[in-house]
Amino acid sequence: MKTLTLLMLGAALSQSALAGVATPPPADAASLAAQLDGGRWPADIMRAADACLNHYPNSACASEAARLRPAAARAAAALSAKEVVLYRSAFMDSRLTPDQQSDAHLAALGDARAAVRLAQVYSHGPDASAADLHRHVAWLQYAAQLGDDAASYDLALHYRSSGQPAIAAVYEARATALGYVPPLALDHIRK
């Protein structure tokens, strides 16, 4: 019975959409511009950009939307890669300082270096608490997917030290392909 009710509700909503029921503009151009400038999740930035472009095409918001939407789409594509295990909650972490929140915004626009800085935050803990290794690795995975060579190499080291040489080899090859030159190993034996 519950399924039938849901199907009927869905059909009614579809019919009202087909009947031309106009949806109101999502917000004014200024609030959409604020969402573009402070958004910390690529899908939210893309949604605000689309709303700006569709409802306020001649505004300053539209020019900013046209500039930011491709970057947010690139970030969303990186997040959808199967090896990236980074979720919205990582971008919205309330423990982040204002500078770190700014990095989360930049990372939501595909800035790999901002993602690396956030990975470093979680290697120590965002509020001087215990480190969060899962988030540290997730931010490195995201940065590597965005093309950061050093993040790829750091992941190779992580996976090698955790006994996962096959995954380590993939990230080491990626780091090398991106141009990373690993530091020379130093041994502790005098010759």
Nearest in space to 69 (alpha carbons), one of 108, 25, 30, 28: 108
Same domain, 41 and 90: no
Whole-prediction pTM: 0.80
pLDDT of 12 reads 45
Domain that holds residue 65: 27-80
pLDDT of 184 reads 78
DSSP track, 34-89: HHHHH--SHHHHHHHHHHHHHH-TTSHHHHHHHHHHHHHHHHHHHHTSTT----HH
Measure the CA–CA gap between 9 and 112, rounded to whole angstroms.
43
- List the structure tokens of 139: 């931010």
| Domain-embedded: residue 17 | no
Same domain, 68 and 98: no
Same domain, 124 and 113: yes
Region label for 148, one of left (φ > 0), alpha (ψ between -120 and 50) or beta (otherwise): beta
Same domain, 71 and 88: no
| Domain-embedded: residue 7 | no
Same domain, 61 and 43: yes
pLDDT of 25 reads 55
The CATH number that applies at residue 149 is 1.25.40
Same domain, 47 and 107: no
pLDDT of 132 reads 87
Domain count, the chain: 2
Same domain, 124 and 90: yes
What is the phi/psi pair of residue 83, to 5°? Answer: -85, -10
Average pLDDT per block of 10 residues along the chain, 191 residues long: 45 46 65 90 96 91 93 97 94 93 97 96 73 92 96 95 94 93 67 46
